[in-house]
Every structure is written in C-alpha cells, then in structure tokens.
Structure 1
Amino acid sequence: MIRAMAKVAANESCDNLDEKRIVPKMMLRRRLTRSARIMVYLADACGFSEGSVVYGSAYGEMQATADIVGAIDANEPISPTAFQNSVYNTAPSYFSLLHGNKEEILTVSSGDDTSANVLQTGALQAVIKGKEVLLVCSEAINIPNIDEVNTCTDYLESGVALTLLPTEQEANIEVVKKAHADYAPSLWAMLDVFDACDGKNGCIVTLEL
C-alpha cells in the first residue's frame, strides 16, 4: 500500500525546500548537500521521520565528486567535507542524523534501473520489517559545465518519494510504464507509481520481487 508520496523538480535548483523549518539547527543545515536537502524535504512531505529507508541515485553526490576530481587535477588537498559527502548514502545519512533515526538504510545505484530496483528493495524491506518503509530517488547534477555532458534530463535537480506498507489486500491500481522526458530515467519507475496513485487514496500496487 502506498501511504504517502511527494516529488520535486527544477531546471536548475529546487527552491522553497523549507530547510529552516525542517532543519532548525544551522550547523547541520549548512552541511547538507543538494541531494540531502531534497531528501529531507521529500521525507517531511511524506510525514516520515523514523523507520527503514531505501535511497537511490544513479549519479550520487555530483558536486562533492567534482570537487574531489578538481582538487586532484589541480594537485591540491582534497577537502575533508567533500570526501565525507561523496558517498552514495550521504543524503539518507543526513536524514537519519536530523531525526535520530536508527533504522536500516539501504542505498541503490544501478543506472536507469535505479528506481525500479529501489521499489523492489523497498517492497522486500516492508515485507521483512512488517512496517512502513520510505523510498526516495533523487538526482542533483547542477554543477558547472554539466551541459557539456548532460543528455538525459531537463531537470538538473529532481526527486520522488513514497512510503510502502505491506498488505494482504489485492492490488487496486495498475502501474503503466512510460517515459518522463524531463526527468532522469533513473527516476522513471518511481514516477510511474506516483502518476498511477496521484489523487487517489488507499492505492495498492503489486511489485515483482
């Protein structure tokens, strides 16, 4: 069962992510990467602050990675902050720090299939844990000169989230696969579910494991 959903997207940078309310401690707020800001915003929009999380990104922390590569190319010291923020689980880790969440985090990165695999992994987690699980996929690739290599998305920042609850009830929603041209393909499977359930309550979908 899909309990809650949210999405956000912008051609360059997502505005109005309500960081000051969601992350009141300034020191933590200043440390957040763009992906982490999107993550905590989507989780808040879904009303989720504690529980297992499955997070997906095809490209990971692009700005931190670019900073590290730039430092290596310039023969300069690598920033400890960039190194810390370069891992794929950066965004959900900041979410857990924010809320004191001690539940399991799983991170998935598998190119265009990322959100499809997040859905499968999230369904398994929901069945195993027997409770609600947060699924988030996001991409934040708004870095200098990205237009020279970007051919897959109009939105340089985007994210989609939903929460899953295991249920014995039969599926009542059919999810149709389609192209979401403005978004990175790594988000498409999750967006398919979002579109199928948008404006409906009590949506139940079948996920093949």
Structure 2
Amino acid sequence: MKINLEILNASFLSSKKEIEDLNTKKLVSTMILRRRLTRASKLVIELMSKVDIDKQRIIYGTSFGELLSTSNIINAILKDDILSPTDFQNSVYNTAVSYASILSKNTNEILTVSSGEETSLKVLKVGAIKALDKDELLLVCCETLNINNIEEVNNCIDFLETAVALKVKVTKENPTMSFKNMNNDSYPKAIEHILHLAKNFKKNEKNIIEVEI
C-alpha cells in the first residue's frame, strides 16, 4: 500500500552541542512551566511556532527519549542521592510533546513512536495512515543527546541536538520528492527520513512524498 503525503510546511533545528537563540521565554510566559521544560520540549515548542499549526493531531518520534533526565536518574541511583521528582516526571518518551500540547491547549490525539534507527520512517508511515481521514497532521522527531560524557559513547554523529517538524496532509497528486541521495550521516539516524524532507522542502511549490506502508 502506498500513500502520498503533501508537506504543507517544514522546519528543523540542529546544533553540534546545544541549539541557541530559542524563543522559549516568549513562547512560554509562565515561569514555573518554563523551568520544568526539557531540552526536547523547548525544541518541539519552538518548531510548532514555526510551522503554523492549530491543534492538529501529532505523531512524535524519538529513539533515545529524554536522555538527560534519564541519565540524571541513573547518576542519582549510582551516587545514592535523592531522585529528582522533575527528572522522574520528565523521563518518559512523550514528555516534550505533552508539554507542547498543554501549552497550546491541544486536546487532539498525540501518538509517540520509538523504533530505533527507523523512528522517523515509522513516524511517516503512521502519519500517512492517520492522514487518510483527510485531516492535517504534525509529524515531529527530536533527539537531544548532549549529556555529560556523551563523547565516550558517541563516535558516529556530529549533531547532538536535532529536531524536525512537518505539517502534512494526504493527497492523490503525484510525488515530487523521494528519499534518493539521502545523506544525513552527521545526524542521528533515527530522524534521517524526516530531516531529509525538511531540508528539501520548497515554499510555494508542491512537496509530495510517497510513503510505502
């Protein structure tokens, strides 16, 4: 089965360490909520402000999840320290998109996908199926890997923070994009498919990808 998705808008953020110049203070006016946000939450909120969404359903993908919160918990256990309630709350995989939905008062369906290196491809497939009801959807993938001692285990990627968002809908028009010549070796492989589409998105043109289910 093949489903064509039209990409209505796209945006991505990336940095070799930590993405700077975020508008978090402006986008999240409540200080208490702002202080609780994870890095991934800030990136997702930033992207949502750039792709013109209005409470659409969201498919969110991450392979490693909230790595910093998880590593903080593990370090606390190793040192026999008190666990941070905030880290515990923020350690689940849907933390970022949950904060974003609370902020935007979005009560629509939100689905989180984690499938290792195939995460963004699975997000596209799930999004394509969900889009068959002719609603617009938001597809988001995010990896925030900049934690202490990451260099001891990372020897394959350069960009430790990357987040991508696509606003999509189903279409019967022919594809104008493909995954040929996809080259995102410096980024987490888990987001390469959606990142490729965002990088090649052209405003004021038809951006259509064929998704094989």
Answer yes or no: same fold by TM over 0.5. yes
Query: Relative contact order (alpha carbons < 8 A, sep ≥ 6): 1 or 2 greater?
Result: 2
Any idea what SS the aligned residue of 1:92 has?
A: helix
Q: Is residue 179–residue 193 contact of structure 2 (8 Å, CA) maintained in 1?
A: no
**Inter-partner Cα distance in structure 1 for 2:158 and 2:42:** 20
Name the structure 2 match of 1:204: 208
* Partner residue in 2 for 1:187: 191
List aligned pairs for 1:69-88, cutoff 5 A.
Answer: 69-88=74-93
> Runs (4+) of structure 1 moved beyond 3 Å?
none
* Residue 124 in structure 1 maps to residue 109 in structure 2: no
Identity of aligned residues (%): 38
1:103 to 2:108 alignment: yes
- Shift of the alpha carbon at 1:123? 1.0
CA RMSD of aligned residues (A): 1.4
CA distance in 2: counterparts of 1:145 and 1:178, whole angstroms: 30
> Structure 1's 152 and 58: CA in aligned 2 closer, same or farther, altered over 3 A?
farther
- Picking from 9, 14, 18, the partner of 1:4 is 9
- Structure 2 gap ranges (5+): 1-5
Change (3 A) 1:94 1:113: same
In 1, the alpha carbon distance for the partners of 2:69 and 2:200 equals: 35
Q: 1:43·1:49 contact (CA, 8 Å) conserved in 2?
A: no
Given candidates 115, 119, 123, the residue that maps to 1:114 is 119
Q: Superposition pairs for residues 1-209 of structure 1, below 5 Å?
A: 1-128=6-133, 130-199=134-203, 201-209=205-213
Tell me how far 1:187 sits from its aligned partner.
1.1
TM superposition shift of 1:200 = 5.3
Query: Retained in 2: the 8 A contact 1:17–1:41?
Result: yes
Secondary structure, counterpart of 1:197 in structure 2: coil
Which amino acid counterpart does residue 94 of structure 2 have in structure 1? N
- The Cα of 1:124 is off from its aligned counterpart by 1.2
Once residues 143 and 167 of structure 2 are traced to their aligned partners in structure 1, the CA distance between those partners, rounded to angstroms, is 19
Distance 1:25 1:115, change over 3 A: same
Q: State the 1:197 CA deviation.
A: 2.6
- Distance in 1 (alpha carbons) for counterparts of 2:177 and 2:161: 28
Gaps of at least 5 residues in structure 1 are: none
Distance in structure 2 (CA, Å) of the matches to 1:87 and 1:145 = 22
Please report the TM-score for the alignment, with normalisation by the length of structure 2: 0.92
**CA offsets 1:43-67 (integer angstroms, 9 cap, x no match):** 1111114111011111110110011
The two structures have a TM-score, normalised by structure 1, of: 0.94
Question: Hey, which of these two has a bigger chunk of strand by percent?
Answer: 2
Query: Following the alignment from structure 2 to structure 1, what is the Cα–Cα distance between the partners of residues 101 and 158?
Result: 30
1 CA distance for matches of 2:87 and 2:166? 29
